[in-house]
């Protein structure tokens, strides 16, 4: 399924490039963000707990400008647990520099929260002794489709950014669907990796520190308003349910590190929940009336949620709405 989606992506992007389609499936700007220009910054969020955030995120997130991947790390008694290894060597090297600015301890674990390359393509650069942790589906998919995912990433983030040079490295530890893994880094620093099923893609993993109340949300929660979710992996109803489940699980005072934005809190990711819920309600009504997909696109513009996110039209009309329509129509038939 995933392979098919990647193939369709590659094919449709090629066709659209060739034909210059008016309502193309290509994002309005390529690269969506430029891995050759991103600078990553360090933010201490708790004792021995750090977030890694693109330096532009503080001013650009609320302007609706797409941001590069976030990450973070925890300094434990025996070593470092790193969250996200980034898209390219240039960005991975920046992460290592940030780690080395606070500790000389080795990176003993690396967690990827998605099988999209901006979260996992740096794996091949990790020391050989580092144990890589992924969602089980993520490992299977990367093993089968690494080259397809690579073309998909080059399609969105451009050639000549070092994406082509990455090499597949398999994960050491996988977490099956509906399972969690807890790692005790010592001194109350417990980190829980949660595979709740599809929240953006079937490869998602959330990272949560219950004592420090720090949450790495990954791609399912891209950023606060005006960003809307990227439900472009072919799923809607399962993500809709799981986003809500994760949101409800978070305490009100959690520190939230979204996948592609500045550090926020629970209220900051509510926009994603509200957008998805509104989309679900409106598409259900459209399907109940028997509207076609094209008629639904006309009827469900959700202008109230179009608050200046650069990718709103691209995501809403090409992916979020069609995937909602597909899942809700299929449900109606059953």
Q: Which residues bind Zn ion (CB under 5 A)?
A: 69, 118, 219
Which residue number, 221 or 236, has a Cβ lying nearer to Zn ion? 221
CB 179 to Zn ion: min, Å? 22
235 is written with which tokens?
């799923």
CB 64 to Zn ion: min, Å? 17
CB 154 to Zn ion: min, Å? 15
Which residue number, 66 or 79, has a Cβ lying nearer to Zn ion? 66
CB 69 to Zn ion: min, Å? 5
280 is written with which tokens?
């679900």
Q: How far is CA 266 from CA 73, 215, 219, in A?
A: 20, 10, 15
DSSP run (H or E) holding 271: helix 270-288
Q: Which of 232, 202, 243, 244 is nearest to 322 (CA)?
A: 232
CB 90 to Zn ion: min, Å? 16
Rounded (10°) CA dihedral 307, 310, 312, 313: 120
Q: Are strands 179-184 and 190-195 parallel, antiparallel or unpaired?
A: antiparallel
DSSP calls for 51-120: EEEETTHHHHGGGT------EEEEE-SS-EEEE---SSHHHHHHHHHHHHTT----EEEEE-S-SSHHHH
Instruction: Give CA 14 to chain center in angstroms.
Output: 24
Which residues lie below 8 Å from residue 254, measured CB to CB, with a gap of 6+? 213, 214, 215, 265, 266
Which residue number, 26 or 293, has a Cβ lying nearer to Zn ion? 26
Which residue number, 31 or 76, has a Cβ lying nearer to Zn ion? 31
Which residue number, 69 or 123, has a Cβ lying nearer to Zn ion? 69
CB 70 to Zn ion: min, Å? 9
Which residue number, 69 or 134, has a Cβ lying nearer to Zn ion? 69
Instruction: Give CA 136 to chain center in angstroms.
Output: 16
- What gap in Å lies between CA 177 and CA 49, rounded to an integer? 27
Which residue number, 117 or 268, has a Cβ lying nearer to Zn ion? 117
CB 289 to Zn ion: min, Å? 35
- What gap in Å lies between CA 221 and CA 230, rounded to an integer? 9
CB 95 to Zn ion: min, Å? 15
- What gap in Å lies between CA 119 and CA 134, rounded to an integer? 10
Which residue number, 130 or 201, has a Cβ lying nearer to Zn ion? 201
């Amino acid at each position: 399924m995933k392979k098919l989606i990647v193939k369709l992506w590659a094919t449709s992007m090629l066709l659209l490039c060739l034909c210059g389609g008016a309502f193309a499936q290509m994002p309005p700007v390529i690269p969506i963000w430029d891995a050759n220009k991103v600078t990553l910054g360090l933010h201490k969020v708790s004792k021995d707990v750090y977030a890694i955030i693109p330096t532009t995120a503080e001013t650009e997130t609320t302007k609706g400008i797409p941001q590069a991947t976030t990450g973070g790390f925890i300094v434990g008694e025996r070593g470092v647990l790193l969250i996200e290894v980034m898209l390219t060597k240039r960005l991975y090297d920046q992460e290592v520099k940030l780690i080395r600015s606070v500790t000389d301890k080795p990176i003993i674990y690396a967690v990827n929260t998605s099988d999209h390359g901006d979260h996992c393509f740096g794996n091949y650069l990790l020391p050989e002794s580092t144990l890589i942790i992924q969602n089980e589906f993520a490992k299977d998919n990367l093993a089968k489709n690494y080259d397809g995912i690579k073309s998909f990433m080059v399609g969105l983030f451009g050639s000549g950014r070092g994406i082509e040079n990455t090499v597949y490295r398999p994960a050491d530890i996988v977490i099956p669907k509906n399972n969690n893994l807890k790692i005790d880094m010592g001194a109350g620093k417990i980190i829980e990796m949660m595979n709740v099923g599809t929240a953006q893609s079937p490869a998602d993993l959330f990272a949560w520190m219950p004592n420090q109340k720090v949450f790495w949300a990954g791609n399912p929660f891209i950023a606060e308003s005006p960003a809307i979710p990227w439900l472009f992996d072919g799923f809607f109803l399962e993500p809709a349910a799981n986003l809500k489940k994760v949101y409800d699980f978070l305490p009100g005072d959690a520190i939230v590190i979204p996948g592609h934005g500045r550090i926020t809190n629970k209220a900051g990711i509510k926009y994603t929940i509200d957008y998805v819920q509104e989309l679900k309600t409106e598409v259900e009504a459209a399907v109940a009336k028997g509207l076609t997909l094209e008629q639904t696109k006309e009827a469900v513009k959700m202008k109230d949620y179009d608050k200046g996110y650069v990718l709103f039209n691209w995501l809403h009309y090409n992916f979020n709405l069609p995937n909602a329509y597909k899942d809700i129509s299929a449900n109606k038939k059953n």
